[in-house]
Amino acid sequence: MIDLDLYRVFYTVAKCGSLSRAAEELYVSQPAVSQSIKQLERLLDTPLFNRLHHGMELSAQGGKIIFDDVEHAVKLLDEVEEKLSALKQNATGTLRVGASETIFQYVLSEKIVEYNRLFPHVKIELISDVSPKIIALMKSDACDIGFLNLPISADEGIEIMRSVRLLNDIFIAGKRFEFLRGEQLSVKELTKYPLLLMEEKTVSREAVDHFGISHGVYFKPAVEVNSWGFMKRLVADGMGIGCIPKEYALNRLADGSLFEVNVSPSLPSRSVGMALPKNVNMTFALQSFINLFDEND
């Protein structure tokens, strides 16, 4: 099949009547236009133009015969491009976003509201689950984009695009442990008090366990929970000292129902990362959502 761009060059030369003016309209060099015309004539095995001193004239046995059909085809292609351009400015379809309930609440809620305002015709499907299950859904083409607690083990089926939110884990306590406010505890001294930690095999639990082990301490939680909201409630009610990203406890810290326990050294920062399936179909709807994170909070 002949390259359609050659027909577009033919149409432009015929419309302009000269190689130089066609080159200006196509934003290419005049020799490139001339070469394209010669190539098309060679492929069609017929001369398309009469080369005149003052310009280019369609040949009676070539250019004039095909001009009307080529003009119609070029205009149809232009209409297709305009339709696609309009579609891109008014994204449609479904965007499937996967994350934990906490990440949706504390990291993504504002972005999702903003995206819906910009692209109201896109249906947003929110898939709430733990990071391993979100990864599995992305690999099975059941989720377009995931937001995961990092770090995670390398997986050939997904690609971590970037970090979108820094998380700073802290230890928190309620009024029952008010005597610890302003005190500085070592990591080992934490083990004197009942600890509330996330359940095993979660990224956050692995992070705090690794932190303890690196300081010669093996944490044995009095209570394991499966949600940050439940942990905050139990800690506020005096059941023990919890470990939570500070960003997820700001309201409680501000109203005084919880306070940060000063532990030295402090836990290292971690983050929430944006992940995509390998070989993802980058639709305009998906790319537009990713673009909202170009300036990280």
Mean pLDDT of 157-182: 94
| β strands within 129-277, DSSP E | 145-150, 158-167, 169-173, 184-186, 195-198, 223-225, 241-245, 259-264, 270-277
- pLDDT tens track for 25-39: 999 999 999 999 999
Euclidean distance between CA atoms 125 and 107, whole angstroms: 16
- pLDDT tens track for 42-88: 999 999 999 988 889 999 989 999 999 999 998 888 877 776 665 55
Look at residues 288, 274, 220 and name the one whose alpha carbon lies nearest to residue 99: 274
Phi (first) and psi of residue 245, to 5 degrees: -60, 130
- pLDDT tens track for 178-229: 999 999 999 999 999 999 999 998 889 999 999 999 999 999 999 999 889 9
pTM for this model (two decimals) = 0.64
Residue 203 CA, chain-centre distance (Å), reads 21
